[in-house]
Amino acid sequence: MSKKTRVVVGLATCGIAAGGVSVMDELRREIKKRKLNVELAETGCIGYCFAEVLVEVEKAGMPKVTYGDITTKDVPELVETHLVQRKIWREKVLLIEGRKTAEADFLKRQKRIVLRNCGLIDPESMRDYMKKGGYEGLKKALTKMAPEEVRAEVLAAGLRGRGGAGFPTGQKWDFCARAEGADKYIVCNADEGDPGAFMDRSVLEGDPHAVIEGMIIGGYAIGATHGYIYCRAEYPLAVKRLRLAIREATRKRFLGKNILGSGYSLDIIVKEGAGAFVCGEETAMMASIEGSRGMPLPRPPFPANKGIWGMPTNINNVETFANVPWIIRNGARKYAAIGTGGSKGTKVFCLTGKVRRGGLAEVAMGTTLRDVIFGVGGGIKEGRNFKAVQIGGPSGGCLPAALLDTPVDYDSLPAAGAIMGSGGMVIVDDTTCMVDLAKYFLTFTQMESCGKCIPCRVGTKRMLEVLIRICEGRGVPGDIGLLERLAYDVKDASLCALGGTAPNPVLTTLRYFKDEYKAHIFDKKCPAGLCVDLVTFHIEPDKCTGCGVCVRNCPSDSITGEKKEPHVIDIETCIRCRECLRRCRFDAVYTV
Amino acid sequence: MVTKTKAEPEQASERARLDKIINKYRKQKGALIPILQEAQDSLGYLSEESLFYIAKATKRTLAQVYGVTTFFTQFRLEPIGEHLVRICHGTACHVGGAEDIDATVCGHLGLSEEGGTTDDMEFTVDKVVCVGACSLAPIMIVDGVAHGRLNADRARKVIKGYQKEK
């Protein structure tokens, strides 16, 4: 008997945003119309975000094929070619199982532990998860291991916190296990607030049970009585799937009272964040869980001793928890064999920005930035030049081409001025102004500063003012020194990590791209042609078709030209509003 | 703070809705944030009256409730338009030209670049930080539906599509 034909559509947030639901509907209609015997299913994020919508087809006698960039218009041809004529539709092929295709490197160069099930299982099906060995780790931990053995195993694996700071997870669990309290809390930090990072969302949407299993194992290891998952409200699909997974796990007795007859009990509640970046900080998150303004507290006391409602509390990130079931199931030794001396296992990165293959990349620790960006990511879009990679979001830094051979691990990245952070990697090309990028991050941290301590509240504001001044061409000699001084003050004197790391984007751009700052301040020029106050607008005669769209929309009547002839911008009267640049369909408008 | 007060008869039904939400969380410790979230979902925004009511019913001071409400970006103290447009300003969207999308959408709707609500209460434009769909940058979300890989032209077309609905 031949295996049933299966068509799977990737329906995580990116897939849905790219039109995945309509593709799914169209497939359903087309299959019904042709009366085909096909099982239509959905899965989470496959990681090939650059080629959404993704459709996978499994048919007996043919290799499994992944199609990319599918729109509703492609559906009839896809169904006709692959399902009816039994031929591979070459035009939109991304991957063919067992064969080499242009995009195969993206997956081949990865090592998937956290993303082991993402894109392979139906995230809303517990049975799918269990078929892949799900909850085996939990069974092993609860029936064959004592809590201290679980902690020792995680410590031996060398797992470090994936939320950014990189603290050894086993050690953190030990602190909390030893603390005394009537109740103990285990919390999953799913408040992925870094702009440019979405790996936690992908795991929550693609494999929610992995996180829950990791949490139960962690809860058992420290003796937690209650669990919270603090999830961003901006991730409605993740919240929905988590709640469903918790209900299913409870029904199967993996959660609740006397789990698997071990005598251990745990409940988990999903708490939705309400939008505050600072709540990614442990003490601020606990305040928010208690229903207060999410403002950080000085440490000590550490959450392990005095956390939620004054009880011992252990907080780990989504990715950290997702590693745990794998470690318990496969053993610490196998995990510790991956990675470098001080950084074990893998790290998931989100490749975004001007990279050709943007998406989820999970690589072994110690892989170089070059391998991630050029090997997995396939280099820069539109044949442009790599300029910098921004790692670690608003707390991280920008590294230049000269540092592309830096390995990604907890020691090398800080040495270069960046941080591992949560794993956002935004790649920029020569069209991005580094001063503007630093200004962007400072705008963010300044806005998100909770205002409790003065260095962060006032310091980030003063730094931002200097950056705005430089971008607007009002920079003065001495601004660079002033920025540096302020940066170190904010870094040293802030209460929590938000302020403590906020100056990093400024410090690294100053370290590696000082020339751009100088060009803004002394020559009043923006080398990337982005800062509007420092550029002039022009029209490339070869590209201009003389359609007149820019003329009609120019608020200062600065554009002239005959119909169907190249137009000209009068730079004396131009108010640099960018409207012509936005309106031109032929890319004819450029800045100098 | 300018708050629109609704006509008298509706207030009783609003109170009933708030009571239902508050009762649901009566036994949960520290449930102020979920109460405010559900109240906003149900009523569209958190009016001065609702905040007073929630404070009283949950035995908190108004300062506490107002403090929490204004701390988190999710909560709104003013009514919003028929369509909610959220323009993403995450890093990937920023380097992909989110400022241009902002300027185009706000310009098209006759709003300042800060966003806000149109006079006819049809559209509210909000800037948000990262919706986590960076590979489709720049992106905006209209009434919960994401529109990715935008440029100025496409963004304008998307908004026009919602305008046509009427």
In a domain, A341, yes or no: no
Please report how the helices A199-206 and A236-251 are oriented relative to each other, as an axis angle in degrees rounded to 10.
Answer: 40
Rounded Cα gap, residues A36 and A83, in angstroms? 8
Same domain, A549 and A515: no
Strand, helix or coil at A20?
helix
In the listed set A429, A462, A486, which residue is the last one of a domain according to the structure?
Answer: A429
The H or E element that residue B23 is part of is helix B8-24
In a domain, A132, yes or no: yes
C-alpha Rg value of chain B to the nearest Å: 18
Q: What is the pTM of this model?
A: 0.93
Counted residue by residue, chain A has a size of 592
Are residues B90 and A428, on separate chains, in Cβ contact within 8 Å?
no
The H or E element that residue A221 is part of is helix A208-222
Question: What mean pLDDT, rounded, does chain B reach?
Answer: 89
Counted residue by residue, chain B has a size of 166
Same domain, A289 and A180: yes
In a domain, A115, yes or no: no
Q: Is B23 on the interface with A (CB under 8 A)?
A: no
In a domain, A53, yes or no: yes
- pLDDT beyond 70 at B4: no
Give residue-wise pLDDT tens across range A469-525: 999 999 999 999 999 999 999 999 999 999 999 999 999 999 999 999 999 999 999
**Which one of B72, B107, B134 has the shortest CB-CB distance to A352?**
B134
In the listed set A523, A552, A580, which residue is the last one of a domain according to the structure?
Answer: A523
Maximum distance among all Cα pairs of chain B, rounded to whole angstroms: 51
User: Could you list the residue range(s) of the whole structural domain that residue A453 is in?
Assistant: 434-523
In the listed set A310, A336, A362, which residue is the last one of a domain according to the structure?
Answer: A336
Same domain, A230 and A331: yes
Give residue-wise pLDDT tens across range A395-434: 999 999 999 999 999 999 999 989 888 889 999 999 999 9
Same domain, A358 and A386: yes
Give residue-wise pLDDT tens across range A552-581: 999 999 999 999 999 999 999 999 988 899
In a domain, A174, yes or no: yes
Same domain, A331 and A409: no
Same domain, A301 and A174: yes
Same domain, A158 and A291: yes
Same domain, A226 and A326: yes
The region of weakest confidence among A316-320, A355-359, A394-398, B1-5 is B1-5
Same domain, A236 and A209: yes
Closest residue in A to B132 (Cα) is A198
Same domain, A332 and A355: no
Kindly report the CA angle at A398 between A354 and A431, in degrees rounded to 5? 40
Q: Is B130 on the interface with A (CB under 8 A)?
A: yes
Q: What are the respective helix, strand and coil percentages of chain A, to the nearest 5? A: 45, 15, 40
Which residues, in sequence order, are bridge partners of residue A425? A351, A391
Q: How far is CA A447 from CA A99, A233, A440, A498, B127, in A?
A: 49, 19, 11, 11, 12
Residues of A in contact with B152 (CB under 8 A): 582-583
- Evaluate whether A226 touches A267 at the Cβ level (below 8 Å): yes
CATH number at residue A90: 3.40.30.10
Same domain, A570 and A425: no
The mean pLDDT value for B65-73 works out to 96
Rounded Cα gap, residues A391 and A413, in angstroms? 9
Are residues A235 and B92, on separate chains, in Cβ contact within 8 Å?
no
Domain count, chain A: 5
Give residue-wise pLDDT tens across range A70-80: 999 999 999 99
Strand, helix or coil at A357?
coil
- Evaluate whether A94 touches A66 at the Cβ level (below 8 Å): yes
ipTM confidence: 0.89
Query: In a mutagenesis test of the A interface, which of B95, B105, B136, B151 is the best target, namely the one with the most A β-carbons within 10 Å?
Result: B95
In a domain, A414, yes or no: yes
CATH number at residue A414: 3.10.20.600
CATH number at residue A468: 1.20.1440.230
Residues with Cβ within 8 Å of A214's Cβ and at least 6 positions away in sequence, in order, are A320, A321, A322, A323, A324, A325
In a domain, A550, yes or no: yes
Residue percentage of chain A with pLDDT more than 70: 100
Rounded Cα gap, residues A421 and A360, in angstroms? 15
Same domain, A162 and A306: yes
- Evaluate whether A54 touches A94 at the Cβ level (below 8 Å): yes
- pLDDT beyond 60 at B166: no
The mean pLDDT value for B112-136 works out to 91
In a domain, A43, yes or no: yes
